[in-house]
Amino acid sequence: MICKDFKGEPISRLGMGNMRLPTVGGGGHGAAIDFDKAAEIIDYAMKNGITYFDTAYVYAGSEDFLGKVLPKYDRSSFKLATKYMAGANPDYKAVFEEQLKRLNTDYIDFYLMHGIMNEDGVQSYLGRGCLEYFIEQKEKGRIKQLGFSSHAPIPVLEKMIGAYKWDFAQIQLNYLDWTMQDAKGQYEALTKAGIPVIVMEPCRGGRLASLSPKADEVLKAAHPDWSIASWAFRWLMRLDNVQVILSGMSNMEQIIDNVSTFTDGGPLSDEDAAILEKACDMFRGEINVPCTGCRYCCDDCPMQIEIPKVLEVYNKMKLDGPMSIFGLFAINPGPKDCVGCGSCASHCPQGINIPEIMQELADQLKKMPGPGGPFAPPPPKP
Ligand code: SF4
Ligand code: SF4
């Protein structure tokens, strides 16, 4: 396993993200974690040199799960990272104590203020004693390294950077977002401030595990034995200030592939980086919605629409053709139920115009045979 020095200690460059652990019956967000399957992944991670485990207070069941599965290993053999989200519970003191209990530990190695997106987010951590409290915990040794995670634009990020001598920061970084979401600017701002970067969404929630048929062909022709996802990791390994690359691994196939990339692989050569850029240009021209599946848009939707699932179908439709829209029939409530309130778009870190897409899909659905379409059976008589 490739490691990188952090303040005199080696940490694996691949980190285990625990937001997308396997669930019972393959259920979505909030479904119970399939303990045995998830524990198999963690055991494989530990046996193969992964030493960084990332979770959060708001990842359903994840802290509890890690608190059960990790204690059989020597506490000094791995780093635990978890996060406090002000929006989920304003009582940061109670949350921190609960997290230590859930994780079955008396200290957190890497502690983060979770998900800065805008000025209000900055204030929710800096303006009410929260940061001061966590600094105090650090002084007591209950937090070893203090940082934050951010989806914020650069001026907001700069405010956060200036607020404290942070030990690290976590941002969304991958070759697609390097220019699309100005991840380059964010990475450079953190690097200039001397703050090591932990990468989240290196594969954009799995989106870069397969690009488009044409782009995949270009990459496969260059290296038939590399997975498409491994190009994203190898590209990130080129960046010197990247400390850990998190991957939310949901099955054994993913972790085996990732461990192999970070054991036998290394950074992309300049020649391979040019090939990736070419494939990326092809892909960029084809995709329309850069949804990462973070679900920040879902909580306040008055119609409780499973927005990321809808967008998944939308992307598929854009890539594979209009017949993919049939996937929408399984999503209820769906685009036809959208009232266009816009609440979702105001929470979306990717700046996706969700109401417009819902409208486009609702219009498209009306043209299709099936429920709601012109070829649908007539509604039952009252
Ligand atoms: S615009 Fe539509 S999808 Fe978005 S929050 Fe409102 S009802 Fe939900
Ligand atoms: S639409 Fe935006 S907020 Fe919603 S899941 Fe996708 S990226 Fe996240």
Judgement on whether residues 172 and 24 belong to the same structural domain of the protein: yes
For ligand 2, atom 2, the nearest C-alpha belongs to 348
Give me ligand 2 centre to Cα 10, in Å.
34
Tell the residue nearest (CA) to atom 6 of ligand 2.
291
Q: How far is the CA of 51 from the centre of ligand 2 (A)?
A: 29
pLDDT of residue 179: 79
The average confidence (pLDDT) of the chain is 91
In terms of residue numbers, what domain contains 346? 307-366
pLDDT in tens, 254-265: 999 999 999 988
Starting from the CA of residue 205, give the closest ligand. Answer: 2
Closest residue by Cα to atom 2, ligand 1, is: 338
Token pair of 204, please? 């954009």
In a domain, 373, yes or no: no
* Shared domain check, 60 and 200: yes
Domain match, 86 and 155 both:
yes
**Domain shared by 160 and 64, yes or no:** yes
Asked if 313 contacts 325 with a C-beta cutoff of 8 angstroms, the reply is yes
Q: How many structural domains are present in the chain?
A: 2
CA of 291 to the centre of ligand 2 (A): 5
- Domain contains 353: yes
Q: Whose CA is nearest to atom 8 of ligand 1?
A: 301
Per-residue confidence (pLDDT) for residue 379, from 0 to 100: 45
Confidence grade of residue 317 (pLDDT, cut at 50, 70, 90): confident
Does the beta carbon of 81 sit less than 6 angstroms from any atom of ligand 2? no
Residue 187 in domain = yes
pTM of the entire structure? Answer: 0.76
What is the rounded CA–CA span in Å between residue 364 and residue 67? Answer: 47
Are both 262 and 322 inside the same structural domain?
Answer: no
pLDDT for the residue numbered 375? 41
Instruction: Note the pLDDT tens digit of each residue in 52-93.
Output: 999 999 999 999 999 999 999 999 999 999 999 998 999 999
Amino acid residing at 289: V
Based on the fold, state whether residues 316 and 213 are members of the same structural domain: no
Percent of the chain with pLDDT over 70: 95
Ligand nearest to the CA of 348: 2
Q: In terms of domains, do 29 and 151 share one?
A: yes
**26 Cα to the center of ligand 2, angstroms:** 21
Site to substitute for ligand 1 among 336, 341, 348, most atoms within 8 A of C-beta: 341
Whether residues 129 and 213 share a domain: the answer is yes
Question: 63 CA distance to ligand 2 centroid (A)?
Answer: 23
- Looking at the domain assignment, is residue 371 inside a domain? no
Specify the pLDDT at position 318.
74
- Domain match, 321 and 269 both: no
Q: What CATH number is associated with residue 250?
A: 3.20.20.100
Is 31 a domain residue?
A: yes
Tokens standing for 63? 């802290």
Q: Is the peptide bond before 333 cis (omega within 30 degrees of 0)?
A: yes
350-378 pLDDT, tens digit each:
889 999 999 999 998 888 765 544 444 44
Nearest-ligand number for the alpha carbon of 296: 2
CB contact burial 13-29 (16+ within 10 A = b; e otherwise): bbbbbbbbbbbeeeeee
Banded model confidence at residue 299, pLDDT cuts 50, 70, 90: very high
Q: Is 291 a member of any domain?
A: no
C-beta separation of 99 from 43 below 8 A: no
E-state strands within the chain: 3-6, 9-12, 14-17, 52-54, 79-84, 108-116, 143-150, 168-172, 197-200, 242-248
Ligand 2 atom at minimum distance from 347 CA = 3
Distance 348 CA to ligand 2 centre (A): 5
Q: Is residue 290 part of a domain?
A: no
Is 154 among the domain residues?
Answer: yes
Residues 244 and 315 in one domain: no
Domain boundary among 284, 316, 349: 284
Question: Same domain, yes or no, for 272 and 312?
Answer: no
Residue list, ligand 1 pocket, CB within 6 Å: 301-303, 305, 307, 338-344, 354-355, 358
Distance of CA 353 from the midpoint of ligand 1 (Å): 10
Instruction: Report the separation in Å between the CA atom of 63 and the middle of ligand 1, taken as the mean of its atom positions.
Output: 30
Residues 173 and 47 in one domain: yes
